[in-house]
Amino acid sequence: MLIVLHHWATEKDVESINKTILKLGLKPMAIPGAERTAIGVIGNQGWVDDAPFRLLKAVMETIHVTKPYKLVSRDFHPADTVVTLGKKVRTGGRSPFLVIAGPCAIEGRDQIFRTAEFLVKQGIQVLRAGAFKPRTSPHSFQGMREEGIRLLDEVRKEFGMLVVTEVMSPEHLGMIAEHVDILQIGARNMQNFDLLNEAGRSKRPVILKRGLSATVEEWLASAEYILLGGNPNVVLCERGIRTFETATRNTSDLAIIPLVKSLSHLPVIFDPSHATGRRDLVPPMALASIVAGAHGVMLEVHPEPERALSDGPQSLHFRELEKLNGRIIKLADFVKKSL
Ligand code: PEP
Ligand code: MN
């Protein structure tokens, strides 16, 4: 970290800042300039909190040289991380392109079983479905909660599929982790730090979605919580961000896929359903993400999207998913061989 002082800062100011740095177990290094002095803080192993300096009168600004994450960064861990889901599905690195699909929410036994049966026929091994739903309005369907988790556990046993579901609060994480293979932390909870810490203590892989207005740095810092807690199995999921544009539900930020892959060793997948909010835009954007370098996609599909209790307009019909899955397999293969 660099502490930049106002031009009028005195020797006494510098001395007192140096003392604070030393008290934190770090080393101050004066960097005199023509206009003003800066003090470099060295010797830190990770992120240094700038709070003790920010409010001092003589300090003009603090500049973080060290990123707020370390364990998730490529500098720290140059090789790609391959996350194992269940016993045999792998994602990240050169693993096959991963397709996760399922309804936004579990709505009942018939709906989830029909979907699972269809996905298995497509060769799709990971089912997504929400039991605890983070809905904007409290009047909207909130999910089947515990009952939904029970149904997911049934699906998993009946079809031998891996299941992923969202966890909204730390209190539920242990119970949910007993019944599912992969935990999802949704966009709205990307900075629920208690939840991130709890996910760090879990043995289950975690799909961490990017927050609605989160910067890449904030997203990676959230992933850092999980790794720091002792769980290295994190998959990042870009799901679109909020911008001035309202023509699509969110704005698909595909550029961050290659960017994040350069900054971090973690696998990165894309969710074109929430990124666009429109089923007609899902196939082209899913395919685009393959070319951008995504390790996989997460798609919403429903046996009867018109009757879905949540996210119907962005959910694919079975026949649309079947067509898209065929194209994904072909394009992923082509990209792997040619790029
Ligand atoms: C979801 O996956 O259904 C969901 C709620 O996603 P997000 O957290 O990205 O909005
Ligand atoms: Mn949804």
Is there a single domain that holds both residue 115 and residue 54? no
Ranges of H-type helices in 30-87: 51-54
Tens-place pLDDT, residues 94-118 = 999 999 999 999 999 999 999 999 9
- What pTM does this model have? 0.88
What's the CA angle centered on 251, arms 127 and 185, to 5 degrees?
Answer: 40
Ligand 2 centroid distance, CA of 88 (Å): 26
Is there a single domain that holds both residue 197 and residue 58? no
| Predicted pLDDT at 334 | 97
Residue 71 lies in a domain: no
Buried b (16+ CB within 10 A) or exposed e, 238-265: bbbbeeeeeebbbbbbbebbeebbebbb
Domain boundary among 14, 33, 63: 63
| Predicted pLDDT at 35 | 81
Ligand 1 centroid distance, CA of 76 (Å): 30
Confidence of residue 75 (pLDDT cuts 50, 70, 90): confident
Q: Is the confidence at residue 181, as pLDDT, over 90?
A: yes
Residue 75 lies in a domain: no
Residue 78 lies in a domain: no
Q: Is the confidence at residue 280, as pLDDT, over 80?
A: yes
Stretch 147-161: mean pLDDT: 98
Q: Give me the CATH number covering residue 52.
A: 3.30.70.1140
Residue 290 Cβ inside 6 Å of ligand 1? The answer reads: no
Tens-place pLDDT, residues 184-220 = 999 999 999 999 999 999 999 999 999 999 999 999 9
Q: Is the confidence at residue 45, as pLDDT, over 80?
A: no
Residue 128 lies in a domain: yes
List the residue whose alpha carbon is closest to atom 6 of ligand 1: 186
Its domain, for residue 313, covers 83-338
Ligand closest to Cα of 131 equals 1
DSSP one-letter code for 130: B
| Predicted pLDDT at 171 | 98
Residue 19 lies in a domain: yes
Residue 28 Cβ inside 6 Å of ligand 1? The answer reads: no
Is there a single domain that holds both residue 242 and residue 316? yes
Ligand closest to Cα of 242 equals 1
Ligand 1 atom showing the smallest separation from residue 184 Cα:
2
Q: Is the confidence at residue 227, as pLDDT, over 80?
A: yes
Ligand 1 centroid distance, CA of 196 (Å): 16
| Predicted pLDDT at 55 | 86
Is there a single domain that holds both residue 179 and residue 35? no
Is there a single domain that holds both residue 252 and residue 124? yes
| Predicted pLDDT at 184 | 98
| Predicted pLDDT at 177 | 98
Q: Which of 315, 238, 223 is nearest to 269 (CA)?
A: 238
Q: Which of 17-21, 163-167, 174-178, 321-325 has the lowest mean pLDDT?
A: 17-21
Residue 274 Cβ inside 6 Å of ligand 1? The answer reads: yes
> Tokens 């679109």 identify what position?
240
Ligand closest to Cα of 275 equals 1
Is there a single domain that holds both residue 50 and residue 88? no
Is there a single domain that holds both residue 98 and residue 181? yes
Q: Residue 199's Cα: distance from chain center in Å?
A: 13
List the residue whose alpha carbon is closest to atom 9 of ligand 1: 187
Is there a single domain that holds both residue 38 and residue 93? no
Cβ proximity of 185 and 130 under 8 Å: no
Count: domains in the chain: 2
Residue 37 lies in a domain: yes
Is there a single domain that holds both residue 44 and residue 100? no
Ligand 1 atom showing the smallest separation from residue 186 Cα:
8
Residue 134 Cβ inside 6 Å of ligand 1? The answer reads: yes
CA distances (Å), origin 11, targets 4, 19, 161: 14, 12, 67
Ranges of H-type helices in 282-317: 282-292
For residues 50 and 30, which has the higher predicted lDDT (pLDDT)?
A: 50
Tens-place pLDDT, residues 298-309 = 999 999 999 999
Residue 209 Cβ inside 6 Å of ligand 1? The answer reads: yes
Query: In percent, how much of the chain has pLDDT > 90?
Result: 88
List the residue whose alpha carbon is closest to atom 10 of ligand 1: 187
Stretch 268-284: mean pLDDT: 98
| Predicted pLDDT at 76 | 86
> Tokens 């960064």 identify what position?
73
Give CA–CA dist 287/158, Å, rounded. 31
Ligand 1 atom showing the smallest separation from residue 134 Cα:
5
Ligand 1 atom showing the smallest separation from residue 240 Cα:
9
Query: In percent, how much of the chain has pLDDT > 70?
Result: 100
Is there a single domain that holds both residue 222 and residue 123? yes
Residue 104 Cβ inside 6 Å of ligand 1? The answer reads: yes
Domain boundary among 63, 91, 114: 63
Ligand 1 atom showing the smallest separation from residue 189 Cα:
8
Give CA–CA dist 78/90, Å, rounded. 19
Give CA–CA dist 281/3, Å, rounded. 47
| Mutation probe of ligand 1 site: the residue of 152, 209, 249, 271 with most atoms within 8 A of C-beta | 209
Residue 152 lies in a domain: yes
| Predicted pLDDT at 206 | 99
Ligand closest to Cα of 211 equals 1
Is there a single domain that holds both residue 124 and residue 248? yes
Sheet containing strand 27-32, strands side by side:
27-32, 37-42, 2-5, 59-63
| Predicted pLDDT at 36 | 82
| Predicted pLDDT at 26 | 92
Is there a single domain that holds both residue 48 and residue 122? no
* Other C-beta atoms lying within 10 Å of the C-beta of residue 339: 8
Ligand 1 atom showing the smallest separation from residue 128 Cα:
2
For residues 159 and 35, which has the higher predicted lDDT (pLDDT)?
A: 159
